[in-house]
């Protein structure tokens, strides 16, 4: 295997004529044959069907197709017109005449569907072994589980058979398999990607997820697939810029559970990898803050101990009435548990969840993201067969709460355990923090690893620095609007995206203003060489968002033109000289963050 299927590499090879979509299809068919694991797939498109897709893509060209010729796989609880949908239950199979909304978006963008992948039946499980179609092989160790429920989707990407795949994530099915297969697993904010055309597990919680080799690839796919679908009653329109990749911040606060709140279930290898990941976040400029994990932990228990099991029962009860014997035994046992739950159980659990959500939301006032192990441990297939319920439950310890508490989540590979198995962490944030998680996750991924999936191929270099578009205004912020500072939410709520961290030229001085709440600095320009290079972040805003922000700026601050060290100029926060009476000159620190740490 010599060609990586990451998007950057594919685009470069298409651009220089090294490959064509039809040529790539032939290569992928050869890879699938060589990999020789039929349990990855439930249905694959024929060679003729794939080449027809490739010719269609080639005819339109790359200019209007952002995913030109990109091969992908689809979890077989998501509709692809012309291919059966089984949800890993042969008796349930039906033939959709329309593709799921997200699939159609990807097809329109030039992506080529290779086939439908295996899963834990009816998307119920985190282990990847609950399917009559077999168990996809974990590419790192054949005795280990691949993770579920999106087992085939994850292994197909890890093995280099496709560039990305779609999964679903109700309780962690888009994250646990990512960790076990050395992949990025993006679980977007609930409602960001339409679930129309997806076989429901828990309709109020279901998300379409993305497995990819890099964070940038997962974000690119989500930004294409994430158009608002008004026909999906659970869809939500994303705020401007919420799904658009941004630059990694120079400073941020990340939360980790307080000592004693992480349960490794006897695993002795994963803890040291988690410590290493936390250390990498600190090296990237993060400040570690201990948080109380209790509300997240209690919410996680609600998913299978509360009435949401009844929602799974609702999804399959009509099929169960006629074909109960066709349901995988463990899956049937779980789903039937929802039949006897009462309406009062739903209300009482709803009250508990509301209280837990309020407690969890308080966490986001203290940190920008929370980092957890994606899974505490990994099990062999034999271990799961011997104790299928308990071990599956353990795998959801750090995933089950996400959709109940309305968080975005991004699973990121961070290295390998001493036994050679992959390990990863998940970054969490409040709803619509997707772009910020991607910025940080991409930096963490590259700081931790050099290869992608199980391919052994190099992780591609980071993308070029984000640039301001023609319909945006670049704004330099210097103090309370920096990432992790109290007023940063004024930017993110307006859909601003972080372009880069930069410095002013040496004509500026920075002062800590007296009596401001929250504390703020004032940036004042003098003559050339009379100041120092001051750290700033450059954000991009639409003209409307820029106007809204400017209108809210109080005296003595204002917006002017700030000259950067690279010779460019952008709009930025400046201060009236009259406000410097009683202010402390903090220029020597080189920036507001450095002053807060050392002043």
Interatomic CA distance for residues 39 and 118, integer angstroms: 7
Print the domain residue range for 159: 7-292+369-448
Domain-embedded: residue 459: no
Indicate the helix (H) or strand (E) that contains 448: helix 434-448
Output the pTM of the full model: 0.89
CB 120, CB 88: distance < 8 Å: yes
Domain-embedded: residue 300: no
250 and 398 belong to one structural domain: yes
Instruction: For residue 494, give the CATH number of its domain.
Output: 3.10.490.10
Instruction: For residue 68, give the CATH number of its domain.
Output: 3.90.1300.10
Q: End of a domain among 412, 432, 448?
A: 448
486 and 529 belong to one structural domain: yes
Give the pLDDT of residue 495.
86
Q: Is the pLDDT of residue 89 over 70?
A: yes
What count of Cα atoms within 13 Å lies in the side-chain half-sphere of residue 124? 32
Is the Cα torsion angle 339, 145, 424, 78 positive or negative in sign? Answer: negative
Predicted confidence band of residue 358 (pLDDT cuts 50, 70, 90): very high
Residue with tokens 């880069």: 500
Domain-embedded: residue 306: no
Q: Is the pLDDT of residue 466 over 80?
A: no
Interatomic CA distance for residues 390 and 404, integer angstroms: 21
Domain-embedded: residue 312: no
In the residue annotation, 194 being an active-site residue is answered as no
128 and 27 belong to one structural domain: yes
Of the chain, the percentage scoring pLDDT greater than 70 comes to: 100
29 and 122 belong to one structural domain: yes
Choosing from 4, 83, 131, 149, the catalytic residue is 149
* Residue in 87, 160, 156 with CA at minimum distance from that of residue 125: 87
Choosing from 4, 151, 158, 173, the catalytic residue is 173
Surface-to-core class of residue 170, CB atoms within 10 Å of its CB (0-12 exposed, 13-18 middle, 19+ buried): buried
Domain-embedded: residue 86: yes
Domain tally, the chain: 2
Predicted confidence band of residue 527 (pLDDT cuts 50, 70, 90): confident
Q: End of a domain among 448, 464, 483?
A: 448
Domain-embedded: residue 238: yes
Residue with tokens 């919420």: 242
CB 511, CB 580: distance < 8 Å: yes
Which residues make beta-bridge pairs with 112? Answer: 71
Collapse the DSSP code of 144 into the 3-class scheme (helix H, G, I; strand E, B; otherwise coil) and give the result: strand
Q: What does the block give as tokens for 379?
A: 């099990």
- Angle, helix 21-35 to helix 47-60, in steps of 10 degrees: 150
Count of beta carbons in the 10 Å neighbourhood of residue 347: 11
What count of Cα atoms within 13 Å lies in the side-chain half-sphere of residue 516? 24
381 and 440 belong to one structural domain: yes
Query: What's the mean pLDDT in 92-105?
Result: 98
Which residues make beta-bridge pairs with 206? Answer: none
Give the pLDDT of residue 196.
98
Domain-embedded: residue 340: no
404 and 277 belong to one structural domain: yes
Q: End of a domain among 382, 414, 448?
A: 448
117 and 213 belong to one structural domain: yes
Interatomic CA distance for residues 230 and 381, integer angstroms: 42
Query: What's the mean pLDDT in 353-368?
Result: 96
In the residue annotation, 227 being an active-site residue is answered as no
What strand order describes the sheet that includes 286-291?
41-44, 112-117, 71-75, 164-168, 208-212, 184-187, 407-416, 422-430, 369-373, 252-257, 286-291
Q: Is the pLDDT of residue 414 over 90?
A: yes
Give the pLDDT of residue 330.
87
257 and 119 belong to one structural domain: yes
Average pLDDT of the chain to the nearest whole number: 95
419 and 553 belong to one structural domain: no
Give the pLDDT of residue 599.
65
What strand order describes the sheet that includes 473-477?
497-503, 535-541, 473-477, 569-575, 557-563
Predicted confidence band of residue 170 (pLDDT cuts 50, 70, 90): very high
414 and 554 belong to one structural domain: no
Residue with tokens 């805003």: 541
Give the pLDDT of residue 430.
96
Which residues make beta-bridge pairs with 430? Answer: 407
Query: What's the mean pLDDT in 328-345?
Result: 86
Query: What's the mean pLDDT in 336-349?
Result: 86
Interatomic CA distance for residues 142 and 160, integer angstroms: 17
| Cis amide prior to 532 (ω within 30 degrees) | no
Q: Which of 81-85, 325-329, 416-420 has the lowest mean pLDDT?
A: 325-329
Q: What does the block give as tokens for 30?
A: 């050869």
In the residue annotation, 149 being an active-site residue is answered as yes
Q: Is the pLDDT of residue 43 over 60?
A: yes
CB 564, CB 511: distance < 8 Å: no
Choosing from 75, 187, 190, 520, the catalytic residue is 75
- Angle, helix 388-395 to helix 329-336, in steps of 10 degrees: 70
Give the pLDDT of residue 104.
98
Interatomic CA distance for residues 278 and 69, integer angstroms: 37
Question: For 539-597, what is each residue's pLDDT tens digit?
Answer: 999 999 999 999 999 999 999 999 999 999 999 999 999 999 999 999 999 999 999 98
Collapse the DSSP code of 487 into the 3-class scheme (helix H, G, I; strand E, B; otherwise coil) and give the result: coil
490 and 434 belong to one structural domain: no
443 and 481 belong to one structural domain: no
Give the pLDDT of residue 529.
87
Domain-embedded: residue 357: no
Give the pLDDT of residue 395.
98
CB 180, CB 420: distance < 8 Å: no
| Cis amide prior to 149 (ω within 30 degrees) | yes
Give the pLDDT of residue 1.
54
């Amino acid at each position: 295997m010599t060609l990586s299927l990451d998007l950057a590499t594919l685009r470069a090879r298409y651009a220089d004529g090294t490959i064509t979509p039809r040529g790539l299809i032939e290569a992928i068919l050869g890879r699938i044959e060589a990999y020789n694991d039929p349990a990855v797939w439930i249905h694959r498109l024929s060679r003729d069907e794939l080449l027809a897709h490739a010719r269609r893509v080639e005819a339109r060209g790359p200019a209007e197709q952002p995913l030109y010729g990109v091969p992908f796989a689809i979890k077989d609880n998501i509709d692809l017109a012309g291919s059966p949908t089984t949800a890993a239950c042969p008796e349930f199979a039906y033939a959709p005449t329309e593709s799921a909304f997200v699939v159609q978006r990807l097809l329109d963008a030039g992506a080529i569907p290779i086939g439908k992948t295996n899963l834990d039946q009816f998307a119920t499980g985190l282990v990847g072994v609950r399917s009559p179609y077999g168990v996809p092989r974990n590419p790192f160790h054949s005795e280990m589980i691949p993770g579920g429920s999106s087992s085939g989707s994850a292994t197909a990407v890890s093995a280099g058979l496709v560039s990305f795949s779609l999964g679903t994530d109700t309780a962690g099915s888009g994250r646990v398999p990512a960790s076990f297969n050395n992949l990025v697993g993006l679980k977007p904010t609930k409602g960001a990607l339409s679930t129309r055309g997806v076989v429901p597990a828990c309709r109020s919680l279901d998300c379409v997820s993305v497995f990819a080799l890099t964070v940038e690839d997962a974000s690119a796919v989500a930004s294409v697939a994430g158009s608002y679908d008004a026909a999906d009653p659970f869809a939500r329109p994303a705020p401007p810029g919420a799904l658009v990749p941004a630059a990694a911040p120079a400073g941020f606060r990340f939360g980790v559970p307080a000592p004693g709140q992480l349960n490794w279930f006897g695993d002795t290898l994963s803890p040291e990898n988690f410590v290493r990941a936390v250390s990498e976040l600190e090296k990237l400029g993060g400040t570690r803050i201990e948080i109380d994990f209790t509300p997240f932990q209690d919410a996680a228990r609600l998913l299978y101990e509360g009435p949401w099991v009844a929602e799974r029962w609702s999804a399959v009860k009509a099929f169960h009435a006629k074909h109960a014997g066709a349901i995988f035994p463990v899956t049937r046992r779980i789903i039937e548990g929802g039949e006897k739950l009462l309406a009062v159980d739903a209300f009482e659990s709803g009250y508990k969840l509301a209280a837990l959500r309020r407690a969890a939301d308080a966490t986001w006032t203290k940190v920008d993201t929370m980092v957890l192990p994606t899974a505490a441990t990994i099990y062999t297939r034999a271990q799961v067969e011997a104790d299928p319920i308990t071990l599956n439950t353990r795998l959801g310890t750090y995933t089950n709460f996400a959709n109940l508490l309305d968080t975005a989540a991004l699973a990121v590979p961070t290295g390998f355990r001493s036994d050679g198995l992959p390990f990863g962490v998940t970054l969490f944030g409040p709803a619509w923090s997707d772009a910020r998680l991607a910025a940080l996750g991409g930096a963490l991924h590259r700081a931790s690893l050099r290869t992608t999936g199980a391919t052994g191929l190099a992780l591609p270099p980071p993308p070029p620095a984000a640039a301001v578009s023609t319909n945006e205004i670049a704004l330099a912020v210097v103090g309370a609007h920096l990432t992790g500072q109290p007023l940063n939410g004024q930017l993110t709520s307006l859909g601003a995206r972080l372009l880069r961290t930069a410095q002013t030229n040496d004509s500026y001085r920075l002062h800590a203003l007296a009596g401001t709440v929250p504390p703020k600095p004032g940036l004042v320009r003098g003559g050339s060489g009379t100041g120092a290079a001051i750290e700033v972040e450059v954000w991009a805003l639409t003209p409307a968002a820029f106007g809204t922000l400017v209108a809210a700026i109080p005296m003595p601050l204002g917006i002017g033109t700030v000259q950067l060290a690279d010779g460019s100029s952008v709009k930025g926060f400046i201060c009236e000289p009259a406000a410097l009476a009683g202010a402390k000159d903090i220029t020597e620190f080189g920036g507001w963050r450095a002053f807060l740490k050392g002043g």
